[in-house]
Amino acid sequence: MKNKQGITLLILIVTIILILILVSTITMISGNSVNNSRIAAFANDLNEIEDLVKVYYMQNDKLPTADEKVYKKEEIANIVPSKYKGKFLEELQANSDDKNTSFYKVDLTKLEVEQSIRGLQKDENGNLLESDVYVVAYPSMNIYYLEGLRAKNGIFFSITSKITSLTKIVVKDTVESGATSITTSNGIIVRKQNSNWSNKLDIIIETNMSGSEQLFFEIVDGIRHEINTVNGQNVLKLSNDFFTIFSNTTGQTQNTGVNLDELSTFNSKDSSNKKIIITKQLDGNVIGRVIVSLENYETDKPGFSGNINVSIKEDYNLISLNSIDSTSGISEVRYEYITRIDDDGNIVLYYEGINNFDEKYMKSRGKKATISSDGFVEIKLPKDIESIQINAFDKAGNISDTITQRIVPEVYIDINGKDATKTSVDLENLVRLNQNIDINSATIQISTDGVNYTSGEQINFTHYKDNIYKCSVNCEDLVDVNDKIYIKLNVNYGENKTETRIKEIEIDTVKK
């Protein structure tokens, strides 16, 4: 009996111990889960605010600061609760925000953040608590919360490698807003065009430099070029051809050292492999590096392939050709009139004194051609147009070499209607011959609907000058005329060839 009681007591003790271990384990797991959730929420807040700050900076070219004061490392550390100042300084060092970094208090209202458990707490007088504030480090764009988050027997102020190892948060180096993107890493900011395609770099590099630090850039792997900098803030703009860099800080332009061979190598790369690398070094050691994709950058000219076809129609002329661009693709093809044939058969400038058009004009005011998805282009022209200028534009904004295309039919026919009423019309007809050929015969037909024409009436042309012939015709006793009449003029020439012109003439409603 005693033996049984001893065994029962032993089982009870073991059971209690197991229960205590299980409760302790559950409590520990629950505590870790709560801590991890708090850390994840904190990291997410920091990440969102960092993205908002970058977008604000791109859109306004300034930071969303709560005041105009610029804080240095020690000044900002003094706002942190004193017992955590050492931990804060450790995070600054881990994030490479050193003595050259500038700090600014963030105004969350400028970021349109109206509700937040952090950064908006006020004291009894309605003033924001001094340490309950987010600050942005420039130029790293790292965000710090000066009150810190206490968790896991420690304190966190920013997104560090320790936080990213505990959470699943992904910190983006590049943030986009509209037509601009911004990439930050280790105290280097790079801003660039963010359109789908562009022939402009518009790259701006911002960084703080001190002592013996050096800044380099490269467009071909392994060939680096040093950029001259000054101590303190540097804002540098890279030219579109990579050959020069302008310093907003000093107002001076320097050559980059990039040569034509490097540029050729860069341009020959597939668009997905085009990039620029900005490196910051101290005593030969890399302390910052930004890689910026230039896959949307293209400077190759679009063009045209194959023959240009000119089709002479009865009431218009048609030009057709193929446009090509193997990188960004053709965006549009534009054209403009250069010369026309006047009422006397002379070839004259369409716009007085202008025989060509620059890129700006063609891009904004040139007439748009019809273009299919495969690049096939058609241009429908009035009969009196004798030559045009054609340019193609790709999606990056590059313009092709100019094509000047003439429309030279063997026979040009012009019909001018005068005093057109519902019963009669006077016609001044002109024929211009472009070769040493003769007019065999000519007939004129009239229609009130553009479909059904009268039988041909013979007319005679007389020599006017050079290779130009004229003929005046008075058409009377017209019937069933509404608001238009249609004239068809047929000219037989040379070895029994025929050219036909159809002209639509509006009725003068004022005249009876």
- Hey, what CATH topology would domain 411-506 get? Immunoglobulin-like (2.60.40)
Using an 8 Å Cβ cutoff, are 121 and 131 in contact? no
What token pair was written down for 44?
A: 């997410």
Q: What is the residue whose two structure tokens read 């293209």? A: 298
Q: What is the pLDDT of residues 313-360, one digit of tens each?
A: 999 999 999 999 999 999 999 999 999 999 999 999 999 999 999 999
pLDDT in tens, 269-304: 988 899 999 999 999 999 888 999 999 899 999 999
Say how many Å lie between the first and final Cα of the chain, rounded.
138
Q: How many CA atoms lie within 13 A of 298 on its CB side?
A: 24
Model confidence band, residue 119 (pLDDT cutoffs 50, 70, 90): low
**Strands (DSSP E) found in 350-449:** 367-368, 370-371, 376-381, 385-394, 403-406, 411-418, 425-433, 439-447
The SS3 of residue 266 is helix
- Of 7-21, 68-82, 353-367, least confident by mean pLDDT is 7-21
Give the pLDDT band (50/70/90) at residue 13.
Answer: confident
Mean pLDDT to the nearest integer, 78-89: 92
CA distance 406 to 295: 39
Local confidence band at 30 (pLDDT 50, 70, 90 cut-offs): very low
Sketch the domain layout of the chain as residue ranges: 30-169, 175-293, 303-406, 411-506
Give residue-wise pLDDT tens across range 432-477. Answer: 998 888 999 999 999 999 999 999 899 999 999 999 999 999 998 8
Determine the pLDDT at residue 77: 93
Supply 180's token pair: 């601009």
CA 187 to chain centre: 27
Q: What is the pLDDT of residues 367-425, one digit of tens each?
A: 999 999 999 999 999 999 999 999 999 999 999 999 999 998 999 999 999 888 989 99
Q: Which helix (H) or strand (E) holds 94?
A: helix 85-94
Both structure tokens of 419: 């005093």
HSE of 21, CA atoms in CB hemisphere, 13 A: 6
Average pLDDT, the chain: 88
Distance of alpha carbon 123 from alpha carbon 289, whole angstroms? 42
187: which 2 tokens?
């105290």
CA–CA distance, 343 with 112 (Å, rounded to integer): 66
CA distance 101 to 116: 27
Cβ neighbours of residue 181 under 8 Å, at least 6 residues apart? 58, 174, 175, 191, 192, 193, 194
Confidence of residue 121 (pLDDT cuts 50, 70, 90): low
> Which of these CATH numbers, 2.40.110.10, 3.40.50.1820, 1.20.120.330, 2.60.40.10, describes 303-406?
2.60.40.10
Share of the chain above pLDDT 70, in %: 90
Q: What is the pTM of this model?
A: 0.71
Phi, psi of 164, deg, nearest 5 = -65, -25
Instruction: List pLDDT tens digits, range 205-247.
Output: 999 888 889 999 999 888 999 999 999 889 999 998 999 999 9
C-alpha dist (Å) from residue 294 to 192, 274, 500: 9, 5, 55
pLDDT of residue 316: 95
Is 510 a residue whose pLDDT tops 70? no
Q: Please determine whether the domains at 303-406 and 411-506 fall in the same fold group of CATH.
A: yes
- Highest mean pLDDT of the ranges 152-161, 191-200, 485-494: 485-494
Reading the block at residue 119, the tokens are: 């950064």
